[in-house]
Amino acid sequence: MSANTTELEKRLWASADSLRANSKLRSSEYSVPVLGLIFLRFADQKFTKAQEELEQHRPETSRRRTISKLDYQAQGVLYLPENARFSYLLSLPESEDIGKAINDAMKAIEAENDELSGVLPKTYTRLEKDLLIALLKTFSGIPMDTEGDFFGKVYEYFLSKFAMSEGQRGGEFFTPTSLVKLIVEIIEPFQGLILDPACGSGGMFVQSARFVAEHRLNPGTDISIYGQEKTSETARLCRMNLAVHGLSGDIRQTNTYYENAHNCTGRFDFVMANPPFNVNGVDKEKVKGDKRYIFGLPRVDNANYLWIQEFYTALNERGRAGFVMANSAGDARGSEQEIRTRLIQANAVDVMISIGSNFFYTVTLPCTLWFFDKGKRTTERRDKVLFIDARSIYYQVDRAHRDFTPEHIERIANIVRLYRGEEIENRQGSLPQMQELFPENTYKDIAGLCRVATLTEIEAQGWSLNPGRYVGVAERAIEDFDFKENLETLNEELNLLNAESYNLELLISENIISLLEVQDEE
């Protein structure tokens, strides 16, 4: 993204956030209406551009024919009636009911574009007139001649900012973009059916489309998008996000635990997700016998291994999956270990990557990225897993947040490419680092960074999928003691130990219950 684009995003956000601060609204009440206005500005820009092109290329013989809704749709552009044009709303006198006018504009767009039916926000009468006028003027400052995916980037930028300001709820709909990009770079969704059964605001789909476009393919024809999302408002955010990026998909509002909305089993080429971690209260009776959970149901009250099986069973025989998961899942004991053992023995677990703390806006804990590849069963990687410890790879955004640079993402993905015997990429300048780490341009184990382990070695580690158990520690030259860095490392290790302690407590509890049941039977 260019510096000018980034600066414009910051200015737009600063202006919009300042307006909210001077209103009576909470961030959660403000976010969806604001994103709706960004969507409207985007739709108007696309419509205006299509209108100019249609007029310019219309033959003289058909000048008398009015350009119709079908002409716009043939160009993949949403049709906008006159009362839904951004310029029309901007020109309304201040004596008009602006909130009602914007609501009517959203209704008109939905009426003319079936794919957006019930999606757009229509709560603008709840906002003060002065605030709405100021927001319309703010977003009118977005240039009409922007190229590429500018509106998508603005929408994405605002999503991330709202996620930060909304705290825990923000994590329900937004996954840090750098983690999504890393998942996409590793599973390489060039072509096929893509599923995200916990799709939030649709970031996985957007980054997949960008990946396809960057490799000179057409995301509109080469990928098909399928999503499930529990929360109705978030499902609408996802559909808006897709529309802003010129994409469409089959997004269902459903509870994935209980509803197999897309007949997922064995169907998809790619699965990507950031599911909620450590969810309890799932009704086991409702999911008993569900063919998605082929390795069995965990006895503990934790849904992590329901999600993991959901992703595995949705893949076809050549499918790949990449998803975010709580660190504790890699070492969980008891019934979860039994499920993990069967999963590893099915020869589909391909890559495991440890991510450091503070990448998420809502929690400070580290996480792990899991990757499945059912197609590897016919390769020499059949009984191997690549472990990468990326906890020391990051840049500090601010005191509380870390992120990956584009070069970081490419470097980590290139390690996976070497492991798979593929050509590395150098779009983001990772080549010097890769040459230093892998001078022969072939994969090798590097202490503290990456190691390939066999299933025999994994069995010896109790079927653990925690990269730290395999990668080891890098040799380090004597250097000045960095208190902050060392304290953060110790804190991460403490979090891991706490997670292991929690799993041991669950295992002890299970064993005590089993002993009591046996005692009662006697």
- pLDDT value, residue 352: 98
Q: What CA–CA distances, in Å, run from 148 to 8, 51, 145, 245?
A: 15, 18, 10, 10
- pLDDT value, residue 59: 63
Q: Are 430 and 411 in contact (CB under 8 A)?
A: yes
Which range (263-272, 287-296, 470-479) has the least confidence? 470-479
Work out the pLDDT band at 411, boundaries 50, 70, 90: very high
> Residue 226: pLDDT above 50?
yes
Map out the domains of the chain as residue ranges.
4-165, 167-469
Q: What CA–CA distances, in Å, run from 95 to 92, 107, 128, 455?
A: 8, 22, 13, 72
> Residue 261: pLDDT above 80?
yes
> Residue 265: pLDDT above 50?
yes
Q: pTM for the whole thing? A: 0.81
Whose CA is closest to 247, among 111, 108, 151? 151
- pLDDT value, residue 145: 63
Which residue carries 């202006």 as its tokens? 15
Q: Name the fold adopted by 4-165.
A: Ferritin (1.20.1260)
Burial (CB count within 10 angstroms: exposed 0-12, middle 13-18, buried 19+), residue 328: buried
Write the CB contacts of 130 (distance below 8 Å, at least 6 apart in sequence): none
- Chain-wide mean pLDDT for the chain? 86
- pLDDT value, residue 32: 84
pLDDT mean over 32-54: 88
> Residue 71: pLDDT above 60?
yes
- pLDDT value, residue 358: 86
More confident of the two residues 63 and 178: 178
> Residue 222: pLDDT above 60?
yes
- pLDDT value, residue 407: 97
Which residue carries 């994405």 as its tokens? 156
Whose CA is closest to 468, among 307, 328, 272, 360? 328
Strand partners, 250: 226
Which range (269-283, 456-470, 508-522) has the least confidence? 508-522
The answer to whether domain 167-469 has CATH 3.40.50.150 is: yes
What are the phi and psi torsion angles at 225 (to 5°)? Answer: -105, 130
- pLDDT value, residue 63: 55
Work out the pLDDT band at 196, boundaries 50, 70, 90: very high
pLDDT mean over 181-192: 95
- pLDDT value, residue 57: 75
pLDDT mean over 208-224: 86
Which range (71-85, 103-117, 152-166, 334-348) has the least confidence? 152-166
Q: What whole-number percentage of the chain has pLDDT above 90?
A: 55
- pLDDT value, residue 52: 87
pLDDT mean over 165-179: 64
Interval 315-361: pLDDT, tens: 999 999 999 999 999 999 999 999 999 999 999 999 999 999 888 76
More confident of the two residues 153 and 488: 153
- pLDDT value, residue 521: 62
Give the long-range contacts of residues 24-29, CB within 8 A, separation 24 or more. Answer: 24/128, 25/127, 27/162, 27/165, 27/166, 28/166, 28/169, 29/126
Work out the pLDDT band at 420, boundaries 50, 70, 90: very high
